[in-house]
Structure 1
């Protein structure tokens, strides 16, 4: 017997088994969605933790940089104070040296024999200069003879006839030992430093020509009249580091504005420095030193003085050998 129409099963209505299966599928998808969401959440949490960590590291680095900058600022302040103290020491040493020189001059002038007074004064000042310098007594002897030979050669060449008379050449010879007397005002830690100087230390070292002039100018007018050698010594002490092209120190003098005695001393001093051993260099050969001086003709040195040096280079070599250190 067939069932009535109202009892027929509607194929569009899911059966209980299908509903159960569908619900299970929805539940599984929901579970998967929850798992995915949890994974994303975990990843976000980890990412946030990493960001926080990075920010902490950056903050720590910023703090370290701030501390480092603070330390640098502190160090700079200490260096400024240190340089001021060194400059103050220079001023004090210069003042003491000037007072000493003035006293020496006054005592020397008390002697009725002017020639003897001059000899005693120069001897004392030479000893003072050498006590503060690393140079040897032979350096003084060598540079005196170099300068004298240059002056005589210049006169023989017909140059500076009025300036280079016999008396002037004698004064240059006597004044040469005082060319670096300004080093009495340079602190020991700079003057006797075994290695190269820093920029700040070099700036202090470059003050020695000015200090030398101040020390030698401490003589009164009477002394200046009696001893012309003091005026030549002042010219040499203040000008032997000036360059012919104007790039020297302390005043940047150029060409003929540099005293002739200082231009002569500049070549003599350079040659001796090059062929001598120093803590920072070995001795150059005579040929190497000669080429270096020629290379600086018209740059560092007066061209005429270099011409005189070229003519006298054999005598320079002989003087260097005869009065070499340790001989």
Structure 2
């Protein structure tokens, strides 16, 4: 069964990569894009597919859509897709607060459309291997992870469109991974944030000291702290320590380091592993055909609840219990 997939909004920096991947997936017809800014949509479509003048036009052609809007602009796209009976894969975070994300999940549920959220780390081979082996570590004693990257600039640094800075952008990835791997949720967060690497009005540094439901400590650095000349965009890793062993998970470990005299940075890296974004989009196509979402909306609500607590903690200077 061929499924027809499109992209709603190209504001997010991942939209181009998704368009390229969708164009090459077996059993998928990439029908094109629609954007809230006509000129931007047309320019994007010149390189990446057909441009539609309206949401209704694209949604009439699509079985599923990938929403790549700015964080604060998800609502009109998700509501329109739900009204049209079209399944949704939304960029993360699902909204700018857990309450907003919960509302979006409810809208899709009431319309009987599937809502998935773009959490590609679940689809990385190292993450899946770690999940298969996690029972060998015994009882959990500690978790430590990082998802550090370049300062993305643009609307990511504008709280009106992003809802926050590095906490909003990066926390959900590793928190969702921990929820998925361990079957436990984060129960409490103590957050320290700052702006040290840019002139943004949002935070670019954050360290979250958390505890899972069973009390296991969980430390996370989700800062925009990689310099522009770094060999790769950033990292995503997690160390899980238990009474019987350790699982050390690096989602992008499958890469070669390359040194070139002509490269201004001197060093770059080439990733050779399987692309988690590709597998995520393949799974969305499977969801449109009837499979369960890989990362359902309610899981994205849980990750955003941790973000809410982190911002509250950074403001009050005290640990904050996560409200699910």
Larger-Rg structure: 1
Question: Relative CO higher for 1 or 2, CA cutoff 8 Å, sep ≥ 6?
Answer: 2
Structure holding more helix per residue: 1
User: TM above 0.5, one fold?
Assistant: no
Structure holding more strand per residue: 2
